[in-house]
A and B are shown apart, each in its own frame.
Chain A
Amino acid sequence: SQWGEENLQALSIQEGEDVTMNCSYKTYTTVVQWYRQKSGKGPALIILIRSNEREKRSGRLRATLDTSSQSSSLSITGTLATDTAVYFCATDAGGLSGKLTFGEGTQVTVIS
């Protein structure tokens, strides 16, 4: 799982398998955003789940949010080699700043 002082987590899976990664956060958030960062590129948003939602789906992606335990998960079903990337969760305390606090990330390597 992501957060705190942990180093980048790493997962290696075979193409076609499903993968789930977890994120725990320390402070109140209005939304959890999940970003994917491919090698040499900037992060890009892949799914966003708000504090009043428990689950959100987008294609092969599924995000969950449990505000009571301050945790979120991202699942990818039927992984492809192109899903190889680092996945970050980010929390947003709301307000005017728009500051996102990012987790340490999970490196997912899909082997074809």
Chain B
Amino acid sequence: EAAVTQSPRSKVAVTGGKVTLSCHQTNNHDYMYWYRQDTGHGLRLIHYSYVADSTEKGDIPDGYKASRPSQENFSLILELASLSQTAVYFCASSDRGQISNERLFFGHGTKLSVL
């Protein structure tokens, strides 16, 4: 079974502070994603990457940066955290390069509270 590990599991940050969320996968997948989930809502894509050292903007990239230093690691960076970024963040990976392998494997999520 594919494994995606996120750290930390939860974090409290102050408004205006810098926050880094980390994701590590041991699946040898090329694709990695960061999604945001607000209470009572679905997931929205922030950034994604299909190769190391390259990232792409998703549907809601404003206020977030991403970094993919290696195939296994993908970070989400909030340079100036704001109250509106309080949410649960999910990292996912997929082996999309292979035919019929579109499924995403998600981590357990990071609960971020910005105060």
Q: Given the known A-B contacts A42-B106, A48-B102, A92-B102, are A102 and B50 also in contact in the complex, defined by CB atoms under 8 Å? A: no
Say whether B43 faces chain A, with CB atoms less than 8 Å apart: yes
Say whether B31 faces chain A, with CB atoms less than 8 Å apart: yes
A-B contact count (CB 8 A): 64
CA distance A33 to B104 in the complex (A): 10
**Interface range on chain B: under 10, 10 to 19, 20 to 34, or 35 or more?**
20 to 34
Q: Are B31 and A98 in contact (CB under 8 A)?
A: yes
Q: Are A105 and B41 in contact (CB under 8 A)?
A: yes
Task: With CB as the reference atom, state the residue of chain B lying closest to A96.
Answer: B50
Binding site for B on A (CB under 8 A): 2, 7-8, 31, 33, 35, 40-45, 48, 88, 92, 96-105
Binding site for A on B (CB under 8 A): 4, 31, 33, 35, 40-45, 48, 50, 56, 58-59, 90, 92, 94, 96, 102-104, 106-109
Q: Are A102 and B44 in contact (CB under 8 A)?
A: yes
CA distance A44 to B33 in the complex (A): 15
| B58: chain A residues within 8 A (beta carbon) | 99
| B106: chain A residues within 8 A (beta carbon) | 42-44
Q: Are B103 and A98 in contact (CB under 8 A)?
A: no
| A103: chain B residues within 8 A (beta carbon) | 42
